Structure 1
């Protein structure tokens, strides 16, 4: 893939603003439409997969899929099978009944490795088939290391609780997080990415507003570029010990300042599910790349 075609105008605008176009073009050469053997092997080892898409009402969400290793597998040079779908209470449960753009993220906390595969999903026996359009690996920066204790396959998720503003308990959940996943969209498709830092790196300004600093990364600016083009975003927070998930959907914008970048989210919809994941993980070994926490900022006017 030609590096220029790896980016839409939103990402290019952010790259130019920050003076990293040449670096972004160089890094963009790693983005391709095919699944290499090492990537296929990595996918088949994973017990979880993050998937981002837009629901029928247009809201963007990030969902967590789990299964026995092998539930995600490459079935061709540009195609994967996912033998799982979002649960009944998940906001994306009704979004994947037909052809839909999706962004997937395979992340292994045990090895601090991750890869993204973006493309088009369609229903398939037992789950989904995804035709790959963008496949690439990411560095382990800001990814906390965790060991997998095991799974509780007999455990059933609790009923999904919906809302439009964070409860005090949900605010504590967000403030204690060292990781979340974010789905964004743009004219060329959907992308799902990872954000990590020390607990407190996500700041809650009110029951409907939160923010996080954008730490230095690979210069692609896919997430910020998508938000430049289309402000919709879906966040997923996971309690690694209990399997509880907190999904947030809303609109986001990024403030650029001399001391860095901060992304702000206005929450529009919330879904909390107890025991959504059967996987149980250890306490984190924090990434040595995590910066010290900075002070929060108010929503920019």
Structure 2
């Protein structure tokens, strides 16, 4: 059975006018009539009742329309996916995010969507601690992850896409609010508010390593699951916190909270993308190319390293 005959039948069933249906299909009316006749012979049933003034579906024609139309929609979708796979424009690129990619994501979304309007970006939120495991299980195509310091270890391909100096969040009336920068050793007597280790294990390890180098064991006042709860706790005077100095993130800080840069050669917060080199999705290299071309702020311009 020729699929084009089924398409001709569906069009005619909707129009209930052979002349108009033939025009819509860009074929002669005689060709359309012949296609319907061949289809009726193959099925062994009459599909239309035609008079001088009207065309209507027979009960058999109505059943065929109800059953075959969803199948044709599915076939059209399959054909479209096959065509786009060869051209490198699959419909969806899945991005795994951890929720604070404020500077880099809006820029790349705008640029990528303008260049590739046929690719829809689908965003999925994961804790940083689960990011690599989620990629391993194919829950997204490209993931954003964060790390503190200068070294990043991953089981996947990766690219650092954003880098900012780390700093301390100080509560209102803290004696160090007029300082340009602080060393971790300056904070020996402070109580700290930390991101939950289970959500961001690398940041926790980085922090305790610096405290150990400064020869003190930090006092931990409380732990936070999100950036917002951390801000509330700092504002309440429960302790000080450490975050990456993303300019967009800093603009979200509540009035009264102070951000002071941390000194040190590896006092940086970074965002990297990770992806599986064995993933054949043709949009992955396109996204990587565009995000790699985005101009990043130079951390050396923010604060002299001491």
Q: TM-score range by the shorter chain?
A: under 0.3
Which of the two has higher C-alpha Rg? 2
TM-score (normalised: structure 2): 0.24
TM-score (normalised: structure 1): 0.24
* Structure ranking higher in strand proportion: 1
* Structure ranking higher in helix proportion: 2
